[in-house]
Chains A and B, each alone.
Chain A
């Protein structure tokens, strides 16, 4: 296990693609300290910004575990492209956490910045605090969002969670901002609490479950039925009853939007159309 401790309070954005189990593999402490890292517009060595400690067993493990302590809210791109291993962050962390990751696990005991798990293809990200905007979304101009893996957030999430999502599961135990599941192609998003609105806008396919309050459903969704329960992921079921809407009509979509009946009595007007 390797642990990292910030040497100081960071002021400028830190680009830390090097903090990645794949990169740490087969490297001893000295080599890890030499890794490239950017602080603002200055190229630095990882050792200059972080104190690196080796604890426990020898470095050449199969699955490297990295544990980071401290406030990393300005540190970006941790675990980007990682294929395996584990990162645990005790504190807040910055943008692009686990961007395009393919495997392994990232756990955050704190909150994360925008674009966490953006374009990820596999692996797990578990966030015990809040997550900011564009969780699991696509890069600017791209329509390739999250394409596999799982993201679990215990807190609240900003807007556009799961935009352009294609595959995978996003479980949010808090509430979310606008445009969750925007233009999603497939996959599942579960929202335990409230949803700010415009959920599932332009979705083509996939499933969004809102178990909290949703002020209004977009006019381009059409009510289809009331369901007793909904399957979420492999082995999880949410108990309803749920209103089931289909949409988005604007995209000739076949997306399913489930909204918990109990929390949303104002949507009962839709029942006359059933």
Chain B
């Protein structure tokens, strides 16, 4: 099938196209030089913005903890539902939508690629089964490896190459995409009810520090030539004063970057940019973090923006979630996974009038605006932790309009208002910069070669928004911005018109991308290995891997490792 998008204002930052009026041609799911003008289906995009489909580097949409979050909160979804139509499946929404609804809602906003950032390897099959039921988007998922006993043991012995071989095995075995590290060392400690307090604290029983884990896995990542960097949720997340931990974490791999390439991604950075010694004296550490990031090229970040709403927090960071339970007294789920990781869930309401929440809200935006290079910081809410992803249009409006920010600043806690840096920041992002922060930059950081741009040969994922950049000033028309980005005029997935003005036209299935990491000397399945397996886990070796038949549409990406 051929498709021709005509006359749109095209924003394609990877190809440095900044609002040029041009046509985009699509054939069989890929961008092509041109198509038959007469027979191709045409979309008149004049007066509209054309961007690559949105990419989300970090959103919890599938797997054990997400699903337990769904189960935990009937009161969260019973008023927000989607009826079955002739084209679509039914479902429920609010902070943790059911799988089909998740896909539809992303598609409506013009998103076509999403990354599920936390998967316990033992429960990887669950994540993939849910991803199969998440339509409209291509997706991938990151296995949690920072507290895996194999990693801790090999790194303690300094056996980096051995560790790399096991990580390669794990990546392929769980059909994962990147190395996810959450509170390195802290999760293993949480298995016995403890935590680590800084990156040089010892992990109980294992004689290793978070610093060694971070550096070790960073080296492994490089040895394996993985497309993305290590994806790190820092120690001490959500604690006052933790911006120092975040800085330490970034610094500790500074020397491991080569040719100015990123070596680490600090995720939902808002949650680890707290300055102050307690909740009362909490202020923003965004300035310090921005300063560091502006002067170094080895770091990328995503925002983890907070939205003032009721949501459900869920991370693999068990001790952090427990603290959150103690703070709120809300219902609490903990789920530790043998040999690998932990996780927790607590419902949470971010309140405008809460000093801490208002500061958090401010930090996220400060980070995005103070970091000069939009290729280094991406827009996320760490869905659903900072708020559900459906609020992205609101964040775009805040980033593009000082007025929008002022309007909200007026409504937040007074003490937070007086301490917020936002009133002193004039920067307003352009559509081009928004395109970087919501797709191009994310795709580049993820090493997704066929996503996030409109070059010939790339996957034909496009979002068209009905707004004229020549006649609309986002600075003043921030409400229009919000409305526009809520429902894309067209969302095109694999060259098919998937959604139009908020209506799902086709239930398109997306592929699951995973890394087929090829090492020269792969792990051999010996009886010894099987025995070790039985000692570490309660399942047999044979039943552990996610075989390829678990992936409805499997899209392996071959990676040639240096080990």
Q: What is A's interface to B at a CB cutoff of 8 Å? A: 138-142, 144
Contact = CB atoms under 8 A, between A and B. Distances in A.
A15 to B, nearest CB: 14
Interface residues of B, number: 6
A130 to B, nearest CB: 27
B181 to A, nearest CB: 32
A200 B73 CA distance: 24
Interface of B: 72-76, 78
Contacts of A139: 74-75, 78
15 contacts: A138-B75, A139-B74, A139-B75, A139-B78, A140-B74, A140-B75, A140-B78, A141-B72, A141-B73, A141-B74, A141-B75, A141-B76, A142-B74, A142-B75, A144-B75
Contacts of B78: 139-140
Contacts, number: 15
Given A139-B75, A141-B73, A142-B74, 7 more contacts: A138-B75, A139-B74, A139-B78, A141-B75, A141-B76, A142-B75, A144-B75
A142 B331 CA distance: 10
Contacts of A144: 75
A254 B470 CA distance: 63
Contacts of A138: 75
A141 B76 CA distance: 8
Most buried by A among B75, B76, B78: B75
Nearest to B79: A139
Nearest to B330: A143
A140 B72 CA distance: 10
Contacts of A141: 72-76
A139 B74 CA distance: 8
Contacts of B74: 139-142
Contacts of B76: 141
Nearest to B73: A141
A42 to B, nearest CB: 15
A204 B72 CA distance: 22
A136 to B, nearest CB: 16
A256 B73 CA distance: 30
B313 to A, nearest CB: 16
A252 to B, nearest CB: 11
Nearest to A144: B75
A141 B74 CA distance: 6
Contacts of B72: 141
A97 B53 CA distance: 46
A142 B76 CA distance: 8
A139 B79 CA distance: 11
Contacts of B75: 138-142, 144
Nearest to B72: A141
A147 to B, nearest CB: 14
Nearest to A100: B79
A127 B73 CA distance: 31
